[in-house]
Amino acid sequence: MERIDKPILVVVENEKTIDEPTLSLASVKVLHFARTLTTGTVAALSVAQDIDEDGLRLGGADVIYVPESAGYSPLVPAAIADTARAAVENLGDVGAVLTVTTYLGRAVTAMLATAFQAGGAVDVTRVWVSGSELFAQKAALGGAWETSFHTTQGAPVLAVRPGFGDKEGPAGEGKIVSLAPRLSSGALQVEVISHVVEPKGSRVALTDADVVIAGGRGTNGDFTLVESLADALGGAVGATRVACDEGWVPRAAQIGQTGVTVAPKLFVGLGVSGAVHHTCGMLGSQIIVAVVDDPDAPIIELADFTVVGDVSEVVPQALEILSAQS
């Protein structure tokens, strides 16, 4: 397998909980993946100032950059981008900057690509090296096409889909380096008034889950069956934009163009019609199952298995079977 010989910077995030700082599984996987792309240094920039040092070292980080600027906030993408620029300057001639396609990941990718005058992309599904150059691939036109590309100027800035990479790999040295970059006016003009972090629940994080059960308009606002099926399969609960707009579930559960991107082994859509702004966030799923009462719903074209029926009738039967098998 070909590799580059330049350092790679990975912008990582912690799980969003009030518990002890824990590196997100999606970030762990990207760190390990970065090691497969380069023989050089793998450096991690922690978005959070409260870092999971053991997680970063075991994730393969040789160098761990920690932001310590006055006025820095891990909730302001411009501040993260400024710190990432300082990390790149410290590393020297980097081969790439990688992160995960999250709310922050999208914004930081755009800002860094603009600052470096380099190519940038989100929802990347594949990255490889050929002839000492990095190439990447992503879906386009709602998943109808797969496009491959490489940057002709500057180091590529790529936000990969969650689930990218392996959970385990070689550990890194984990040398901690504090960064105190000069924050831009764009970063300093943003003031975080309030921030609410929910306690960690019993379910796995949405972007880290191997199984995602998503509910849409067809649930009629009752997510009890969605949650029950997620618990039975050890999965996470997701939702469409409509379900979040209606207040049926928290905004953090939204999957799609203006939500999070998921790539589980199994995605089950309950009452999900399959609008493009939702499906673009779950196209990386290995197996897609749809339960929908409309035989002409767009999601059927994407699904590996479809049950045409009412969610309130189909899911209880599935739960009975799962209960009998446990």
CATH number of 160's domain: 3.40.50.620
Q: Is the domain of 115 the same as that of 171?
A: yes
Whether 78 is in a domain gets the answer yes
Say how many domains are in the chain. 2
Q: Is the domain of 73 the same as that of 47?
A: yes
Amino acid identity of residue 321, one-letter, is I
Q: Is the domain of 152 the same as that of 23?
A: yes
CATH number for the domain that contains residue 224: 3.40.50.1220
Q: Is the domain of 168 the same as that of 61?
A: yes
Whether 76 is in a domain gets the answer yes
CA pair distance 4, 163, nearest whole angstrom: 23
Q: Pick from 125, 155, 188: which residue ends a domain?
A: 188
Whether 99 is in a domain gets the answer yes
Whether 199 is in a domain gets the answer no
Summarised one tens digit per residue, pLDDT across range 151-165 is 888 899 999 988 777
Q: Is the domain of 53 the same as that of 141?
A: yes
DSSP code of 199? Answer: P
Residue entry with tokens 């409260």: 50
Of the pLDDT bands very low, low, confident and very high (cuts 50, 70, 90), residue 18 is: low
Angle between the 224-233 and 311-325 helix axes, to the nearest 10 degrees? 30
Cβ–Cβ contacts within 10 Å for residue 206, how many? 24
Whether 195 is in a domain gets the answer no
Q: Is the domain of 234 the same as that of 120?
A: no
pTM listed for this prediction: 0.80
Q: Is the domain of 155 the same as that of 12?
A: yes
Q: Is the domain of 159 the same as that of 98?
A: yes
Which pairing describes strands 120-130 and 133-140: parallel, antiparallel, or unpaired?
Answer: antiparallel
Range of the domain at 94: 8-188
3 state DSSP class of 200: coil
Whether 147 is in a domain gets the answer yes
Tell me what pLDDT residue 200 has: 59
Q: Is the domain of 150 the same as that of 254?
A: no
Summarised one tens digit per residue, pLDDT across range 124-133 is 989 999 988 8
Tell me what pLDDT residue 75 has: 85
Summarised one tens digit per residue, pLDDT across range 176-188 is 999 888 888 888 8
